[in-house]
Amino acid sequence: MNVLTKVLFIDDEKHIRQANRQTLELAGLEVVASDCAEEVFDIITKDWPGVIVCDIRLPGMNGMELQEKINLMDRDLPVILITGHGDVSTAVKAMRNGAYDFLEKPYAPERFIKTVTRALEKRMLTLENRLLRSELEVHSAPGPRIIGVTPATKRLRATIAQIADTGADVLIVGETGTGKELVARSLHEHSRRRNKNFVAVNCGAIAENLIESELLGHEAGAFTDAKNKRVGKLEHANGGTLMLDEIESMPLQMQVHLLRVLQERAVERLGSNKLIPLDIRVVAAAKVDLKEASDRNEFRKDLYYRLNVVCIDIPPLRHRREDIPLLFHHYLLVAGHRYQREVPAPQPAEVNMLMTYDWPGNVRELRNLAERYVLLGSQSDWSVEQLLAGEVTELSGSLHQQVEMFERALLEQALSAHKGSLKGVMATLSLPRKTLYDKLQKYGLDKNDFK
């Protein structure tokens, strides 16, 4: 059943509730019936996907009062009022104040269903527009961008947009080079914490005897050589975001300290008895499965569950090959700007090589290749023998499917190069306008995704 089929029907007369509920359910709608308007606020949220149908005359909170309260929560949530003959003028007044419509008793079931259906369609459009606005804000905001057009990449962007401003701690899991820090920075830049510090710590790069001081800080004289007070990374990230990369490498004793910090949202410097309150978001990143590590007693299970509020799993590049041409073009432009070099355009055969390589180093390896290509051009290590070094992956699927994947990659590359300009794509690929439109529709490509 579609989630956008929820109807909350409120009437204090039992036989009316039962009859209207049956009518709505026969129309394929999901119904919650109640005799009390106050219960509405235990059910709905700002983005609740449905509509409310409520009788004006109710004991306790009446329909008019309910509609006014709904307006304060979400003015775009449709409220349909049911009126008796003497309540029509009241219902008209309610519509002026934001009610969606009113039904005068007795009303025909056909009109009832039609009114509710229209209200549901309006609600669906409202929620879709909100989501689009949210995605546009993510793409137009400053900071790192998640590049790609595959379903996996779109889901990743949608997840970031949904949780970025919540403040919830996040666990990011992915192979080396998949872009875990990029995702962490994107979460930070698209949140209200963006004007505070983003502090990244590689837990595997700090000596075990120094990590407590590095994260917690210390007071002067806390230990030998502690001549001055030091503010730790946790305290330095106060108000912002702390990324703990390779957290699987964190010593078990330090994991105990971190668990306490996460629970109390306060830190105590080494050599001090004073707790310093913290307002931080913690983003932990791992290249291994922490659940499996905890089962092997290599990582604290209580810390794993504390960190795993929201988990973002970044797929390796070999699982989203359609993103490769777009990513490569992006890194060519970045490298060209950095080194003040003209950006060369890879040939179709070279793009095909990119698509068939297994990329054990993931996006980081692709970025390094793009830099070499800009710096060295034809002298770069771009050949089957040198670039792929025996690591070519046989593309799955029939010849037809592989040709389609290659064709889509070329379209994406051209769209990216011309920033969504179809005129430029037609010239580059020598395609008539109708053929180009047909192929964009075939592969589900939208020129606006490449602007």
Q: Give the CATH number of the domain where residue 125 resides.
A: 3.40.50.2300
Q: Return d(Cα 199, Cα 375) in angstroms, integer.
A: 31
At residue 5, the pLDDT reads 54
Report the alpha-carbon angle 260-264-265, nearest 5.
105
Length of the chain: 451
Residue 430 lies inside a defined structural domain of this protein: yes
Domain end position, chosen among 294, 315, 336: 315
Within this chain, do residues 166 and 266 fall inside the same structural domain, yes or no?
A: yes
Q: Are residues 110 and 34 in the same domain?
A: yes
What is residue 136's predicted lDDT score, i.e. its pLDDT? 52
* Amino acid, single-letter form, for residue 240: G
Whether 267 and 180 map to the same domain: the answer is: yes
Q: In what order do the strands lie in the sheet with 101-104?
A: 30-34, 6-10, 50-55, 79-83, 101-104
Q: What is the pLDDT of residue 280?
A: 95
Asked, for residue 138, whether it belongs to a domain, the answer is no
One domain for residues 308 and 164 = yes
- Say if residue 185 is in the same domain as residue 309: yes
Residue-level pLDDT at 335:
85
Q: What is the structure's pLDDT at 332?
A: 85
- For position 164, which CATH number holds? 3.40.50.300
The CA distance from 58 to 278, in Å, is 48
User: Are 236 and 354 found together in one domain?
Assistant: no
What is the predicted pLDDT for the residue at 163?
A: 93
Residues 109 and 18 in one domain: yes
Residue that terminates a domain, selected from 74, 101, 133: 133
pLDDT tens digit at each of 451 positions of the chain: 333 458 999 999 999 999 999 999 998 898 999 999 998 888 888 788 899 999 988 988 988 899 889 988 898 999 999 987 667 777 778 788 888 998 888 899 999 999 999 999 888 888 877 765 665 555 444 455 788 888 899 899 999 999 998 889 999 999 999 999 999 999 999 999 999 999 999 999 998 888 999 999 988 887 877 788 889 999 999 999 999 999 999 999 999 999 999 999 999 999 998 999 999 999 999 999 999 999 999 999 999 999 999 999 999 999 998 888 888 888 888 888 888 888 777 777 778 788 888 899 999 999 988 888 888 775 655 543 444 443 434 444 555 565 676 677 778 778 877 778 888 888 777 788 888 888 888 888 888 777 6
Q: In the numeric block, which tokens belong to residue 127?
A: 């929620």
Asked if residue 322 and residue 307 are part of one domain, the reply reads: no
Name the domain boundary from 103, 133, 163.
133
Structural domain including 295 reads 151-315
Same domain, 329 and 442: yes
Q: Residue 150: what pLDDT?
A: 87
Domain count, the chain: 3
Residue 116, pLDDT score: 94
- Same-domain status, 189 and 310: yes
The pLDDT value recorded for residue 390 is 39
**Distance between CA atoms of residues 395 and 142, nearest Å:** 37
Residues 6+ apart with CB under 8 A from 275: 264, 266, 267, 268
The CA-to-CA distance between both ends of the chain, in Å, stands at: 36
Classify residue 141: in a domain, yes or no: no
Residue 145 placed within a domain: no
| 362 & 406 share domain | yes
With beta carbons less than 8 A apart as the criterion, state whether 81 and 99 touch.
yes
Are residue 171 and residue 79 in the same domain, yes or no? no
pLDDT at 194: 92
